[in-house]
Amino acid sequence: MITAPLPADYIADGDVPASWDVRNVENQSYATWDKNQHIPQYCGSCWAQGTTSALSDRIALLRKNAWPQVNLAPQVLINAGMLRGGGSCNGGNPAGAYRYAHAHGLPDQTCQAYQAKNLKWDDLAVCENCAPGPTNATFTPGVCSREESPPLWFVGDHGSVSGADRMKKEIFARGPIGCGIDATNEFEAYGGGVFSQKKLLPRINHEISIAGWASEDGVDYWVGRNSWGTYWGEDGWFRIKMGADNLAVETDCDWGVPIVPDGY
């Protein structure tokens, strides 16, 4: 759904800065918290992690880092399942996450903690709160109930973008984007520096967030955020070559424009 002009159509090439990083925009970081999709157990939820990270960063930019920080809940998308939310712990489609957020809105993680498993879609699937059990001796697991009328963050316009120039303009104008990548064994073993890998036919199998770009020793690169914990890569982040040999990271990206609720 696209109703407004795209940044690629109204930002001139000469107006795009040589570098931009959501962690340092005019000496402020708008990066929300880092994630590990595989804690407390393995879960193939990258499609929900990359999208909610990018949207949460965009919310921080829109709100100029106002308190409280908003971190959208990927578990809600998993709870919603493939048809409603876009996927599960068995994989999914990032576009489905934006469609869900557009139609239904997403709460933050104080409503729905990440559990890294496929849960049923019921009254507790969006926002819940739990109290002790019926007797003082029964605290765990307690009794959980639906939290009525939680704050929800909707997405307005949303779509896809590809190619370095268009990606830069989208990020510069509105914040980080989600992108697919071929997470090879070499990428999984990444420990720092500007990564590049030649692969004849890369196949996208993982979703990350692209949150900026810069150059080092004459090599242009993207700044990316992963969802494999801060002990992976450069504190959970990575840099990857721009333009070529980057495992198709510039071919299948997505974005959404968050709508800030009244009172925020």
- pLDDT tens digits for 201-214? 999 999 999 999 99
The Cα 158–Cα 254 span in angstroms is 8
Catalytic residue positions? 46, 206, 226
118 inside domain: yes
224 inside domain: yes
pLDDT at residue 134 in the model:
75
Contact 152, 104 (CB under 8 A): yes
Q: How many domains does the chain have?
A: 1
- Give the end-to-end CA distance of the chain in Å, rounded to a whole number: 24
The Cα 82–Cα 10 span in angstroms is 35
5 inside domain: no
The answer to whether residue 45 scores a pLDDT higher than 70 is yes
Contact 110, 126 (CB under 8 A): no
14 inside domain: no
The answer to whether residue 141 scores a pLDDT higher than 90 is no
SS3 of residue 177 by DSSP: strand
The CA dihedral of 132, 137, 138, 140, to the nearest 10 degrees, is 80
pLDDT at residue 80 in the model:
97
Residue position matching structure tokens 């939310």: 85
54 inside domain: yes
The Cα 260–Cα 150 span in angstroms is 14
The domain that contains 90 carries what CATH number? 3.90.70.10
pLDDT at residue 142 in the model:
83
Nearest CA to 153 out of 231, 51, 30, 1 is that of 51
The answer to whether residue 136 scores a pLDDT higher than 70 is no
* Mean pLDDT estimate for the chain: 96
The Cα 8–Cα 243 span in angstroms is 17
pLDDT at residue 182 in the model:
98
pLDDT tens, residue by residue, 70-112: 999 999 999 999 989 999 999 999 999 999 999 999 999 999 9
The Cα 84–Cα 104 span in angstroms is 10
Prediction pTM value: 0.96
81 inside domain: yes
The Cα 50–Cα 208 span in angstroms is 5
pLDDT at residue 135 in the model:
67
Nearest CA to 167 out of 91, 108, 220, 114 is that of 220
Mean pLDDT within 59-76 = 97
> From its phi and psi, is residue 104 left (phi > 0), alpha (psi between -120 and 50) or beta?
alpha
pLDDT at residue 140 in the model:
73
pLDDT tens, residue by residue, 112-135: 999 999 999 999 999 999 988 776
pLDDT at residue 263 in the model:
87
- Residue 117 belongs to domain spanning: 25-259
